[in-house]
Amino acid sequence: MSADVGYCRVSTADQNPDHQIDALLRAGVDRTNIHLDKASGAKASRPKLDLVLQLLREGDALKVTRLDRLSRSVLHLVTLGAELRERKIGLHVIEQGIDTDTAEGRAMFGMLSVLAELQRELILANTMDGLASARARGRVGGRRPRLSEDQAALAQELYDARVKTVQQIADLFGVPRSTVYGHLNKETTVPRQPKTSSAGRG
């Protein structure tokens, strides 16, 4: 039997989640199936979201009030959307009218994918320009082996999506592996789960 699972997120412990909870209840989610994270900052762990992704099964639907409650990064959002689609799980965004069970909803995610790819290319292009400038000044890699906020977000997405290893990400940005590890979300970095097919799901 399919189920609707609701997810809420507030940025600080002081923010009131009632608006999100009420919207999910009106959308047909049972109160016992609503999960709330209190997280601030892009790198903060979200244990309830991790739990929700474990609970969801083929035919279920994940419901949120807005996309920014689910993710602050377009890249992460697209990766998550692709995972849900692969697992045949619907995504319903109540206030923004997105439902991936419909052609319009799938088209919306397609547009997000294009924007995410553009964002990724721009970050990489800026990184390459910066490295070229540093080399021209005789400083390979530059003096500050740090990643910008956009680069750190991209490094996390490349790692989470298992597109590149930490060493490959470090090479891409011209920084040591330790710098990449310093920016990765420790909650998702250790342990790293191998990519598996959905054939063995019960």
Indicate if 11 belongs to the active site.
Answer: yes
**CA atoms of 120 and 125, how far apart (whole Å):** 9
Q: Looking at 2, 11, 40, 133, which residue is catalytic? A: 11
Between CA 48 and CA 58, with CA 53 as vertex, the angle to 5 degrees is 145
Amino acid, res. 151: Q
* Non-local CB neighbours of 89 within 8 Å, separated by 6+ positions: 56, 57, 58, 59, 60, 61, 62
Of residues 106, 100, 43, 48, the one with CA closest to residue 76: 43
- Do you know the residue count of the chain? 202
- Residue 52: count of CB within 10 angstroms of its CB: 21
Output the six-digit token pair for 111: 């547009």
| Burial category of 98 from C-beta neighbours within 10 Å (exposed 0-12, middle 13-18, buried 19 and up) | buried
As annotated, the active-site residues are: 11
